[in-house]
A and B are shown apart, each in its own frame.
Chain A
Amino acid sequence: MEATSKSAFRDHPAGMGMKARAGKPFLLGVLSVFVLLLSGCAADDYDDCDDSLYEAMKYSTEEAWAAHTALLGLILVRAEENGVQPPPGVAAEYGFNTALIGEDVEKGMEYLDQEIQWYPESRLFIEALKRLIAGEEDVLAMPAAEDGEEEP
């Protein structure tokens, strides 16, 4: 199935048949992380996600999605600096966008795995995302039964 057919968020780059280019917008977004880090003005980054996500959904430009992704990256950097766990979903969204918008699948997968480490309850959800990134047909698959667990 072509992932581009009817994205729920119109032109989310991830809905572009997973062929979004790692062009200037994404690099600019990544650069903006370092600018923010240098400026030290990211006190409430997580609160700002509302605005950046809204801008990305509304305007559906690569620049807007890159800026939102960069903000997520900043939250992860800040969390690491402070030795705390980032909020649920941040590493998942950053990893997914990095894999599909930034075309850095390996790095994106690392963040998705990290989300499972931080939040084990996200495992099935993250595994579905990884199958989506890999272009597998069956994104939703029944989880394998644990050892000793009876099949339904």
Chain B
Amino acid sequence: MKRRPRIYPALALLWAAAAAGCAAPDQDYSDLSDYYRTAPKTILVLPARNQSTDAEASWFYMATVGEPLVERGYYVMPVTLVSEILTREGVDPGAAWDIDPARAYDYLGADAILYVTIEEWDTFYAVMASSVKVAIDYRLVDTRTGGVIWEHRGARKVTAGGHGQGLVGLLLDAAESAIVATTIDYVPLAAGLNAEAFSTLPPGAYHPDYPALRQKIEAWEKDKARESGGMGSGLDI
């Protein structure tokens, strides 16, 4: 299958510059132009591949992945409903990654598939403190070409503890460590990681910044087309 060139790192930087309103007149929108040419409007999120030691890590991720993507301006198929369809089709969550991306476009209308690998979600316990180390790899794949159109790796370590010397301090440390290890605290941690990751994703069609950005890119494409004496292909999102 033909793969598109990897464009994401420069793309994130370009978008950050554009969003800050500091884009120079000769701003190069090549990467964003390429990204939007794939028209990723609808995103299907597959069950995460969990390589961590925490069996529940997939749930933290799955419960928190949709909202920040929606807020980024994309139509996101609810993860529970996608899973129900896969189940009905006899596709085990572990085998979902083997599905040809083109089928998600043909049968469900997904423009892109988000593949997420939870590399680490490990809690370390100690007398004075405990910590949670998380690392997640994100890949957004165009369902029509199979090419990666955005990629991000997020990592974070959260530590709790350290209330000073003495018995009271030790007791507080132990209590706080227990709180950190409580799974309910993992939901905001996962939500924060997902939000941070998707902040590097160019805005989707429903994002308020999208129209202005699209205008800039279209103007840039027209300039490029004039320079080369050809016609711009335009954006189709």
Which residues on A are within 8 Å of B, measured CB to CB? Answer: 1, 3, 5-9, 12, 14-15, 46-47, 49-51, 53-54, 57-58, 87-89, 92-93, 96, 119, 121-125, 128-129, 132, 139-143
Contacts and interface: CB of A to CB of B under 8 A. Distances in A.
Interface of B: 41-42, 47, 56, 59-60, 62-64, 66-67, 70, 74-78, 80-81, 83-90, 92-93, 103, 106-110, 183-184, 187-188, 191, 206
Main DSSP-derived SS at the A contact region: helix
Contacts, number: 118
Contacts of B59: 54, 57-58
B45 to A, nearest CB: 11
A1 B75 CA distance: 29
Contacts of A5: 87, 90
A142 B89 CA distance: 14
B187 A54 contact: yes
A111 to B, nearest CB: 12
B106 A142 contact: yes
Nearest to A94: B78
B87 A15 contact: yes
Contacts of A57: 59, 62-63, 80
Contact of B47 (A8, A46, A50, A93): A8
A18 B87 CA distance: 13
A99 to B, nearest CB: 11
B106 A50 contact: no
B49 to A, nearest CB: 13
